[in-house]
Amino acid sequence: MDIRVENLEPDCFYHIYNRGINGGEVFRNDENYLFFMKQFLKYLNSVCDLYAYCLMPNHFHFLIRIKSQNDLLIFFEKVNNRSLKKGLHSIENLTSKQFSKFISSYTQAYNKVYERHGSLFESPFKRKKIVSEKYLQNVVVYIHQNPIDIRKDFKNYKFSSYKTILSSLKTNLKRDEIIQYFDDLDNFVYCHSNIIDFKF
């Protein structure tokens, strides 16, 4: 999927995911996970809102909603110090480019620390547009249940949004909105109680 063909559209939800080259490890310790999320906020907070996430040793998942066309336009003109252009450097490609900068910034730091070179993640990153509320609910549960694959209790997994959504801690997550998609917090927990067979 070429970022120049499949743009991330304003006001739409997407499941964004990717894995290390050949399924290789991309997070080796807690510092890696925390730095990855720090870079996410640095590069993507202006172009999308975060609804759910899970970082695994060799891959990641995000549920995001792209900001409005007006918000993207304001950010585009601020970053580029100019008005709209067409092509690869247009506003239509802004969010994909920010994702690429995010991945690149993490890769460069990771390579420096671990004395390696080259790509860390497969390219381009994968994205699936969320087409219904039921699909969105399934994606949230699927993302949160990922740690089961490595025999971890997803309810206590540190690098996922599940515990944050249940808490009252300050967060950049759209916690209240996600809970509303499940009607309430009790139903959010209930929907996570069964392992879903989710294909995407």
DSSP for 24-62, written as a single string: -----SHHHHHHHHHHHHHHHTTTEEEEEEEEETTEEEE
Cβ count within 10 A of residue 95: 26
pLDDT for res 141: 97
Among 42-56, 74-88, 183-197, the least confident range: 74-88
CA separation for the pair 144, 153 (Å, rounded): 10
pLDDT for res 3: 43
Q: Report if pTM > 0.85.
A: yes
Among 33-37, 78-82, 160-164, the least confident range: 78-82
List of residues 6+ apart from 20 with CB closer than 8 A: 26, 58, 59, 120, 121, 122
Contact by Cβ (8 Å): 88, 74? no
pLDDT for res 200: 52
pLDDT for res 88: 46
Fold of 13-191: Alpha-Beta Plaits (3.30.70)
pLDDT for res 4: 43
